[in-house]
Amino acid sequence: MALNRWKSNGWTVCGVALLSFAAGVLVTARANSDRVFELRIYHATPGKVEALETRFRKEASKLLAKHGLDAVGYWVPDDAPASDDTFIYLLAHPNRAAAKQHWAEMFADPAFQSMMKEEQTDQLVQKVDDIYMHPSDFSATK
């Protein structure tokens, strides 16, 4: 009789564990369903990609992190003509509202404002393309 009660409790524990795991997966999937990525393509003034890359290496990447802007990576194209004037980076955000809030906080930061004045003086960037994206349901990255 004691053995049967132990088996029953064992199955109950396994069932509870399985249900808890499934609920956790669903909650996690739901929590990430609003996640967005922001692709930023900087069209640099010809000949100034290296200066822009240095600016991000030394200053901008630290400011992004300080304000919760999660940089996934930074890229410079290998082939001309894009390699001559293009700098690309990708940010991950929990959702669009968080992205908006984090950017507003960064724009208000005096260190960012100072960096932007320098960037305008140095005429590093001619144009920025900004694209928000969400992962497809079959994407490995979510």
Q: Are residues 43 and 28 in the same domain?
A: no
Query: What pLDDT is attached to residue 120?
Result: 86
The fraction of the chain above a pLDDT of 90, given in percent, is 65
Same domain, 41 and 81: yes
Tell me whether residue 45 is exposed, middle or buried, using C-beta atoms within 10 angstroms of its C-beta: 0 to 12, 13 to 18, 19 or more: middle
Considering all CA atoms of the chain, what is the largest pairwise distance in Å, rounded to the nearest integer? Answer: 84
Domain membership flag for residue 141: no
Q: Which domain holds residue 107?
A: 35-133
DSSP E strands: which ranges in the chain? 36-44, 70-75, 86-93, 125-133
pLDDT score of 108 more than 70: yes
